[in-house]
Chains A and B, each alone.
Chain A
Amino acid sequence: QKEVEQNSGPLSVPEGAIASLNCTYSDRGSQSFFWYRQYSGKSPELIMSIYSNGDKEDGRFTAQLNKASQYVSLLIRDSQPSDSATYLCAVPRGGGSEKLVFGKGTKLTVNP
């Protein structure tokens, strides 16, 4: 099993809809989880971090974490064309090494 897995997509949603992006991870000891957004040709930008089970909301973004299922998701409400990007899930490698392992990303397209 890969350390961090994401559906590669592409995921296409209409403007105004909810986009749901999913990520699973293999290391049960992971304590923190990150979502990055990467526009085409640009570098990744940290948009959400989550450390505890449950939901964390920031504007239109909600991160959900379920450690028992080793599952983290990102919901984007009221999706906008400007949300069209690749979303990367990242999990630190166990043992406090501070190395982040990234999934391959899910490409999201929001259609006007």
Chain B
Amino acid sequence: EAGVTQSPTHLIKTRGQQVTLRCSPISGHTSVYWYQQALGLGLQFLLWYDEGEERNRGNFPPRFSGRQFPNYSSELNVNALELEDSALYLCASSLKGAAPRGYTFGSGTRLTVV
């Protein structure tokens, strides 16, 4: 069974640019979660999608947005990049259910903003 896949693995962007990160969940998983892990900081929750709908959003500005497609894959878009957006962006997926079962993370996208 393929795990959560993310692309690209590394990305270098200039301040002010826009970036799109992609995530494919494990087959059968309908929920996709995005997290940011900046250097020295813990994992910060960004977005949760389930069955095509945004279900929850973390404390991030509106320039962080995303969507989930009918095949449950997801995109994270970041507009007007700032230097502090440099981080490891992690996508995770899980089955939908009343009780969380823990996430399986992808290998992440390392974004560097210069």
Interchain residue pairs with CB less than 8 A apart (17)? A31-B99, A34-B102, A42-B108, A43-B88, A44-B90, A45-B105, A46-B103, A49-B102, A88-B42, A96-B98, A97-B55, A99-B48, A99-B56, A100-B100, A102-B42, A102-B43, A105-B42
Chain A residues with CB below 8 A from B42, complex form: 88, 102-105
Q: How many residue pairs, one in A and one in B, have C-beta atoms under 8 Å apart?
A: 56
Closest A residue to B50 by CB, please name it. A98
Does B104 sit within 8 A of A, measured CB to CB? yes
Query: Given A43, A98, A103, which contacts B31 in the complex, CB threshold below 8 Å?
Result: A98
Assuming the A-B contacts A31-B99, A97-B48, are A88 and B43 also in contact, with contact meaning beta carbons closer than 8 angstroms in the complex? yes
- Quick check: A100 and B99 within 8 Å, CB to CB? no
The CA of A62 and the CA of B52, in the complex, are separated in Å by 37
Which residues from A are CB-within-8-Å of B43? 44, 88, 102
B2-33, CB < 8 A from A: 31, 33
Residues of B within 8 A of A (CB): 31, 33, 35, 41-43, 45, 48, 55-56, 88, 90, 94, 96-108
Query: Would you call B100 and A32 a contact (CB within 8 A)?
Result: yes
Residues of B within 8 A of A43 (CB): 88, 90, 105-108
